[in-house]
Amino acid sequence: MSKKTVFVTGASAGFGVEIVRRFAADGAKVVAAARSKDRLDKLAAELGENVLPFELDVRDADAVAALPGTLPAEFAEVDLLVNNAGLAKGLEPAHRAKLDDWDQMIDTNIRGLAHLTRALLPGMIERGRGHVINIGSVAGSYPYPGGNAYGATKAFVHQFSLNLRADLQGTGIRVTNVEPGLVGGTEFSVVRFEGDQSKADNVYKGTTPLTAADVAESVFWAASQPEHVNINVIELMPVVQSFSALHIHRE
Ligand code: NDP
Ligand code: 8X3
């Protein structure tokens, strides 16, 4: 059974819920953070007092900077930060994309993740132990039409994770980037298509995608390795997903 304290962002839906469940099942103390407090309260009621519902918008730089001073003492010494909160908005080509959508993705997926990491790393360094697991995406490595700013935010997450490893050399702090492909059963596509459920359902039609529990298991596995082992990157896809040829426009 784990004695870890885990801080999970984006814990009110999708991967985050399953990540919280996985670590709670292992006996960890888990801070479940997101904007939707009602959903977090329900999750905590289901999982018990080792789960702390914590209302947080990762774009709120002041609230993030105030961590971990605002956490109750028994949850304040975070051993594992899972930077999972994030979103894609829109699938329009760059010249038609909404700037507000780009800003929201950049502020959440990049700025939020970077600020959270900056807020919690000093405590990890002080205690001489810790692990940051970021949730990237295959979209950070493989471009696709309409992936413009979203994919670029996940490319940031990939390189930021590797650069953290370089900075944290000698500290014992571990860093992992988990990069999933197509995952069904979360709210990702509903958010991307602004609540259009049938458009969202079409993304997964006729496929057997990964599940949020598959991703949570990867996160848990990376965190459960012996302390001398650092898993740098995990890229996972469902069997039904692979690669395609480069496009060539012909006259
Ligand atoms: P969901 O939409 O199901 O969940 C997203 C979570 O992020 C919610 O809990 C939401 O909570 C939270 N969130 C969004 N914005 C903020 C914010 N500003 N502050 C705090 N929390 C926020 O998506 P998934 O679970 O599918 O995705 C989770 C992560 O995985 C994302 O980073 C996504 O980019 C990535 N990913 C998803 C894939 C997929 O196919 N589903 C594949 C690869 C990567 P609330 O609204 O309550 O704040
Ligand atoms: C989510 C996977 O392919 O929709 O990051 O960008 S994809």
Instruction: Annotate 158-176 with DSSP letters as a single string.
Output: HHHHHHHHHHTTTTT-EEE
Determine the CATH number of domain 5-236: 3.40.50.720
H or E element at residue 81: strand 80-83
Closest listed residue to residue 112, CA positions, set 71, 37, 68, 60: 60
150 catalytic residue (yes or no):
yes
Closest ligand 1 atom to residue 183 Cα is: 40
**Domain segments of the chain as ranges:** 5-236
Q: Is 137 in the pocket of ligand 2 (CB under 6 A)?
A: yes
Chain mean pLDDT for the chain: 98
User: Best substitution site from 42, 84, 179, 233 to test ligand 1's pocket, by max atoms within 8 Å of Cβ?
Assistant: 84
| All residues at 6 or more sequence positions from 76 whose CB lies less than 8 Å from its CB, including other chains | 5, 68, 69, 123
Chain segment 15-43, per-residue pLDDT in tens: 999 999 999 999 999 999 999 999 999 99
| CA–CA separation, 11 and 100 (whole Å) | 24
Convert the pLDDT of each residue in 118-148 to its tens digit. 999 999 999 999 999 999 999 999 999 999 9
> Given ligand 1 and candidates 31, 35, 106, which is best to mutate, with the most ligand atoms within 8 Å of its CB?
35
pLDDT band (50, 70, 90) for residue 58: very high
The complex's ipTM works out to 0.99
Q: CA 198, CA 239: separation in Å to the nearest integer? A: 24
Q: Are strands 51-55 and 29-34 parallel, antiparallel or unpaired?
A: parallel
Q: Looking at the predicted structure, is the pLDDT value of residue 1 above 80?
A: no
Rounded to 5°, angle at Cα 51 from 50 and 54: 140
Closest CA to 241 of 204, 195, 214: 204
| Residue 84 · residue 10 · CB < 8 Å | yes
Distance from the alpha carbon of residue 245 to the mean position of ligand 1, in angstroms: 29
201 Cα–ligand 1 center, Å: 17
Cβ–ligand 2 distance for 139 under 6 Å, the answer yes
User: Ligand 2: which of 15, 109, 113, 138 to mutate, judged by most atoms within 8 Å of the beta carbon?
Assistant: 138
User: Does residue 51 carry a pLDDT above 80?
Assistant: yes
Which residue minimizes the CA distance to atom 38 of ligand 1? Answer: 183
Q: Exposed, middle or buried: residue 185 (CB in 10 Å: 0-12, 13-18, 19+)?
A: middle
Cα separation, 185 vs 87, in Å, equals: 15
Work out whether strand 51-55 and strand 80-83 pair parallel, antiparallel, or are unpaired.
Answer: unpaired
Residues 171-213 have pLDDT tens digits of 999 999 999 999 999 999 999 999 999 999 999 999 999 999 9
Confidence of residue 85 (pLDDT cuts 50, 70, 90): very high
Q: How far is the CA of 150 from the centre of ligand 2 (A)?
A: 8
Q: Which residues contact 96 (CB under 8 A, 6 or more apart)?
A: none
Measured distance CA(225)–CA(230) in Å, rounded? 8
Cα of 177 vs centre of ligand 1, distance in Å, is 15
3-21: string of b/e by CB count within 10 Å (b at 16+)? ebbbbbbbbbbbbbbbbbb
Asked if the model's pLDDT at residue 2 lies above 80, the reply is no
Residue type, 46: E
Q: What is the pLDDT of residue 26?
A: 98
Angle CA 170–29–130, to nearest 5: 5
